[in-house]
Amino acid sequence: MKIRRIRGGPCALRLILFLLVLREIHRACWSTWNAVGAKSFGLLPQKELHLVVSFWAPSLKPVPHRAETEAAIALNTANPYISTVHVFLEATIDFHCSDVESRVEGLLQKAQHVRQAAELDCHEQSAQLSFFDMFLFAKSVDAGDSNRIVILANADMVFDSTVVHLRGLNPSVLAIIATRGFGSASGTRQIRKFYRTVMKSKAKAIPNRCYNLHQRGKKECRGSWDAYAFEPSRLKLSLTDFLDERSGRPFVMHQNGADPSALNALLTLSHFNHVHQLCDYVKMWHYHSEGKTHFNNSEMPVFHEYSFPAECATVRGCLNPSSDATRAVDRLPTPQQKICDELHAPFRNNLTAFRKGEFNVI
């Protein structure tokens, strides 16, 4: 039998070797950019990024949005700029951390082109955690190591490579990140492809909360966000600051008004001089085309004072502000903050009436 030699074989091999070398050069260049780029932007030395999320999965029964959340957790563990993903598994019955770990591993293997880069640290909880509980754990991530930045986010949020900016976050800055939504035409190619691989369908359009504030005549309030980034040693927490004034109980992450309420609670004692919205520079995408899965109290608004982040013009201004001004400067009414106050005026009136005993909540 005559064996026919395939022409171009050596050329194909050379091409593969060339591409492998090119990939390593690309990785090396990114590492160099992280150090040199931080210096040129005037940012601080690069720090480890620790992502903290809560994941409600009461049973093994398949739930569409839970699959989206698992996909988000898996893809974040594949982000080369995130060191550790800490998952709080809430209200578990027959679904445990071992299941989360196997699901993440299985999803990454299914995608083939994605590999796990971050450590997965899972903790089982018997009930839903409050915002206070989440920040309390975030503070413990410090563990005497000031070389860490914590990102506290909803579990169905996915970060792309722009999360690298947070490595240079100034300790005096509390960063807030609004989601850019998600859809068949948004997010990076890898993020879209991973969603289609896991869900076997294209994502429905999810609203972009990182509104373009520079459009002429645009009046939008960036009053909703889904992530915080900070140096954990700067947190100083008191449970009383995180209580719903109506129920007297700690509010949870998924309630209406929880984000501006949590920001207000954080600013009471914590040591931050600046609070900035970073969604223009750190892109975060929302895997949430399916229905909600969290508890029914999510639609009940939090009765608490609100605070909103300041806007800034550049990534350097956000991450490493040169001014030594106190945080009160950031809390002065900027045009965007005035819009937020106007939109939330009815709620503020209800809160005032409630405090006076003139407003009854059903």
What pTM was computed for the model?
0.78
Q: Please give the average per-residue pLDDT across 292-301, as a whole number.
A: 58
pLDDT digits (tens, 9 = 90+) for 66-90: 888 999 999 999 999 999 999 999 8
Count Cα atoms within 13 angstroms, Cβ side, for 202: 8
**What's the pLDDT band for 32 if we cut at 50, 70, 90?**
very low
Q: Which domains can be identified in the chain, with CATH numbers?
A: 43-355 (3.90.550)
Closest CA to 348 of 298, 303, 308, 297: 303
Counting every residue, how long is the chain?
A: 362
Dihedrals phi, psi of 263, to nearest 5 degrees: -65, -45
| Residue pLDDT, tens place only, 96-141 | 899 999 999 999 988 877 788 899 999 998 888 999 999 999 998 8
Distance CA 329, CA 275 (A): 10
Q: What is the mean pLDDT of residues 251-269?
A: 88
Helix (DSSP H) and strand (DSSP E) numbers for the chain: 10, 9
Cβ(71)–Cβ(107) below 8 Å: yes
- Among 203, 245, 250, residue whose Cα is nearest residue 350: 245
Q: Residue 41: is its pLDDT beyond 50?
A: no
24-28, 61-65, 208-212, 225-229: range with highest mean pLDDT: 225-229
Specify the higher pLDDT residue, 187 or 151.
151
